[in-house]
Amino acid sequence: MIRLNTPPLDARSTLSILLLANIVAFTQQLIWVEVGFLFSLFVLLVICGCKKQAIKWGIVFSVIVIIEHTIFPNIDNEIITYFTVSVIYLRKMLPCLMIGTIIIKKIKMQYLILALRKFRFPQAIIIPLSVTIRYIPSIREEYHNIRNAMRLRNIRGLKRIEYTIVPIMISATNTSDELSAAAVTRGIENPCVKTSIVNMEFKLLDYISIIVTVCFAILAILSRGGMI
């Protein structure tokens, strides 16, 4: 096996933490469990080299808490109910989004695909997921190129919408075809047992992260049952 820029967290542990994060997010009933879990994820993001993203999610959580405790209680309107549900749902999704940041920023595709194969995920899930994850950065890069081109040509107003949407739609179609062809060329549809040149192993950070997340998942379940 060859080591190719091993990510700070093993892909298997990251996927496990993502699953446990869903349990914590949607079962916990105590604010200190939520805050403690988010703080542990904040520290994990910093350790993994995602300091800016950690600060961003910390600010998002702070803003959501301020809105929920200062603005919503003082507004009596049926329309505000829809915003309340959206804000609460976003707050519930924060742990998953924080783990997703690590997956997108720090775990390369070959590690993620290998982890999914280790977990015995079917090819029907691995193939579209691998194409989708590669697809998003390509579209983002294309969007930045289009935006820079419009700045050079001093295109303003409503024309910016037309000159952005049309190229993005054409590029999206071409990019999806190219990524699908590349995946097929690499034998992703071949049913035989796959091998990999990368090596996956748990490190101390993986064990600590999983243990901490399991502890918070247990606390969340206990709080759901009113045991704490």
Which pLDDT score is estimated for 14?
92
Q: Which residues of 154-177 are buried (b: 16+ CB within 10 A; e: fewer)?
A: eeeeeeeeebeeebeeebeeebbe
Predicted confidence (pLDDT) per residue in 175-199, tens digit = 777 777 777 777 766 777 777 777 7
Tell me the C-alpha distance between 114 and 101, whole Å: 19
Mean pLDDT is lowest, of 29-33, 76-80, 114-118, for 76-80
Give me 207's structure tokens.
């064990």
Mean pLDDT is lowest, of 35-39, 49-53, 138-142, for 138-142
Q: At 141, phi and psi to the nearest 5?
A: -65, -40
For residue 99, how many other CB atoms are within 10 A of its CB?
A: 25
Give me 28's structure tokens.
């916990």
**What residues have CB less than 8 Å from 127, skipping those under 6 apart?**
183, 188, 189
Q: How confident is the model at residue 1 (pLDDT cuts 50, 70, 90)?
A: very low
For residue 139, how many other CB atoms are within 10 A of its CB?
A: 14
Q: How confident is the model at residue 2 (pLDDT cuts 50, 70, 90)?
A: very low
To the nearest whole percent, how much of the chain has pLDDT over 90?
A: 25
**What residues have CB less than 8 Å from 117, skipping those under 6 apart?**
126, 194
Q: Which residues of 12-50 are buried (b: 16+ CB within 10 A; e: fewer)?
A: bbbbbbbebbbbbbebbeeeebbebbbebbbebbebbeb
Residue 212 has pLDDT above 90, yes or no: yes
Three-state SS for 20-39 is HHHHHHHHCCCHHHHHHHHH
Residue 4 has pLDDT above 60, yes or no: no
Closest among 93, 104, 102, 91 to 43, alpha carbons compared: 102
Tell me the C-alpha distance between 127 and 189, whole Å: 8
Q: Does the predicted TM-score (pTM) go above 0.85? A: no
Provide the β-strand partners of residue 2: 198
Residue 9 has pLDDT above 60, yes or no: yes
